[in-house]
Chain A
Amino acid sequence: MKKIILLILFLLIAVKVQAAELLVLASGLPADKLTTEEVNTLSAKQKEIYNARLRIGDIICVKPDGWQWGTSECLPTFIVIKLPGVAVETVKHLERPLTQIAVNIDGRTIKKNIKNKNFQIPENWIKNYVDLSQSVVTIKATPQQNTFMNNILEKTQ
């Protein structure tokens, strides 16, 4: 009996340890306000940067449960989304940029950012959290968590 209790306790601890926290951009960049006419006047280089820029909902970085965030890693710029039960390793890729292999002017291949972040939480969700002044949001275990994960947007070129 003792062994079973110990096993249950161990499993509970193990489940609790496995968690990830996402730092998500909650504030837009000034470039978001450019009009279509203004965007059309940008040079090719500027357009690349404009298209690659960070957007509201972009996942800036992924850290393990219990990460002690900085004093400015909160609203108005960021929201922390906690995902209990999700291992960091399984969501670490969400912080990566979307890249493509391109050829530089000297002919060498380079890894070029198409989007500075590849994954984005829907903007309207983030705006809801901002309206509620929620700097920290915990998405509890299934099914809420499944819905959340399934709605993370993977950007395309």
Chain B
Amino acid sequence: MKKIILICVIYLFILLANNCFAASLLKHTVRPSGSSPAGDFTTLAAAIAHLQASHSNLVSADVYAEISIEDNGHAWAEGDDTTSVTIDSITTDATRYLHIYATGNARHAGKWSWVKYALKLSDENGISFSSDIGYIRIDGLQVTLEDSSPPTNDYLFNMSDSANPCDVRISNCIAYGIDDDYRANVYGFAITMSGTPAGTVKIWNCIANNFRGGTTCRGFSATVSGTGNALYYWNCTAFDNHYGFYSPGTSTTAINCIANSCTDGFNGTFNSSSNYNASDIASDAPGANSRNGTNGDATFVDEAACPWDLHLSTSDSNAKGQGTDNSSAGYTTDIDMETISGSWCIGVDWITSGVSEDYYSGRGIGRGIGRGVLR
């Protein structure tokens, strides 16, 4: 009996310890001007400035911080948030990290939308995170550039150098370039990692499209050095960029990624574990099971009008069901947050073989109408 009581006491102690010592949540909201009730902030830049001034050390405060970008019945409009965001001067660690996400009606439905939250810049970097913030997660955001002035050297999701160590996760985001032949060095996702201790950057279910104007433009760009540093692209879609995925080193791994309508889909050297990718250019995508040329040419829902709908068409056969199960990486949903079951696809969208999963899902019905599958 004493033993049972002792075991119960130890169990309770462990339970309490886990609950008592887990970091607590510090949450702020960003809602558009005119929301009722209003959010804490109306721009992402203001939310970050507040954290920098009032909650700069998440570790000592023992909190993980969330910035929830919401709609609350008052839709976001084009130009609501136009302020470049620099995230630095915030101390984080593995359990006390910064998490920025769009949710509910503020979150895009896997395709660029101006009535969802979108950060729109004018010849500036978009969201930059600095080498003093190692643990950050960004999910469901859209970032683009204005077409009014020819931009150069602008990176929409920008990590100019890594913290050491770091665990950066960017998921379900869309970087939308503009088509202007005068620009140069405009990137969707620009990741630079260096130094030690090593860290990881994981980018999944993200789209980079229309980084086309100059020969130096890139959808996904990587510069990884330093022993053990690693960058992963999983289930990402690069469409109509000069370079789709650019990797000068072997520390970048691409799995289930697709580059279509790019001048150069996969440029450089990728890690040998890269596989199950697709490119519509011959001998381009890395990996023994990758698809190239006509076999790597996916059929999307809308490739005719910009912004495109890069969900897979039900008629597609080159990306649908051609990916590998990557659930061991820690995600099991596609860009629409629909749970993947059965065969994985290449790119951001998952559809079942034969019939689109969107035909059946409540959320997908709206999308299905947009796609024409419910006519």
A: which residues have CB within 8 A of B?
23, 25, 27-31, 45-46, 49, 52-54, 58, 60-61, 63, 67-73, 76-78, 92, 95-97, 99, 101, 104-106, 108-113, 116
Question: What chain A residues lie within 8 Å of B221 (beta carbons)?
Answer: 108
The answer on a CB contact under 8 Å between A70 and B40 is: yes
The answer on a CB contact under 8 Å between B49 and A77 is: yes
Question: What chain A residues lie within 8 Å of B131 (beta carbons)?
Answer: 45, 49
Question: What chain B residues lie within 8 Å of A110 (beta carbons)?
Answer: 153, 155, 160, 185, 190
Could you list 16 further interchain pairs (A-B, Cβ under 8 angstroms) beyond the known A45-B132, A69-B33?
A23-B46, A25-B53, A30-B56, A31-B89, A49-B89, A60-B45, A60-B46, A61-B45, A70-B38, A70-B46, A71-B37, A95-B45, A96-B84, A99-B125, A101-B153, A110-B160
- Complex CA–CA separation, A49 to B90 (angstroms): 11
The answer on a CB contact under 8 Å between A28 and B53 is: yes
Q: How many residues of B contact A (CB 8 A)?
A: 49
Q: Which of A67, A72, A101, A116 is within 8 Å of B86, CB to CB? A: A116
21 contacts between A and B (CB under 8 A): A28-B53, A29-B52, A29-B56, A49-B131, A52-B86, A60-B46, A60-B83, A61-B45, A63-B42, A68-B33, A70-B30, A70-B31, A71-B38, A71-B39, A73-B42, A78-B46, A92-B82, A95-B45, A104-B192, A111-B154, A113-B86
Contacts known (A70-B40, A72-B40, A110-B160); A49 close to B52, Cβ less than 8 A: no
The answer on a CB contact under 8 Å between A49 and B132 is: yes
The answer on a CB contact under 8 Å between B155 and A61 is: no
- Complex CA–CA separation, A41 to B154 (angstroms): 32
- Complex CA–CA separation, A76 to B50 (angstroms): 10
| Residue with the highest number of chain A CB atoms closer than 10 Å, among B45, B50, B190 | B50
Contacts known (A53-B89, A96-B124); A106 close to B248, Cβ less than 8 A: yes
- Complex CA–CA separation, A28 to B266 (angstroms): 45
Question: What chain B residues lie within 8 Å of A25 (beta carbons)?
Answer: 49, 53
Q: Nearest-CB distance from A68 to chain B (Å)? A: 4
The reply to whether the CB of B215 lies closer than 8 angstroms to some CB of chain A is no
The answer on a CB contact under 8 Å between B54 and A27 is: yes
Q: Which of B188-241 contact A (CB under 8 A)?
A: 190, 192, 194, 216, 221, 223, 225
Question: What chain B residues lie within 8 Å of A63 (beta carbons)?
Answer: 33, 42
The answer on a CB contact under 8 Å between A105 and B194 is: yes
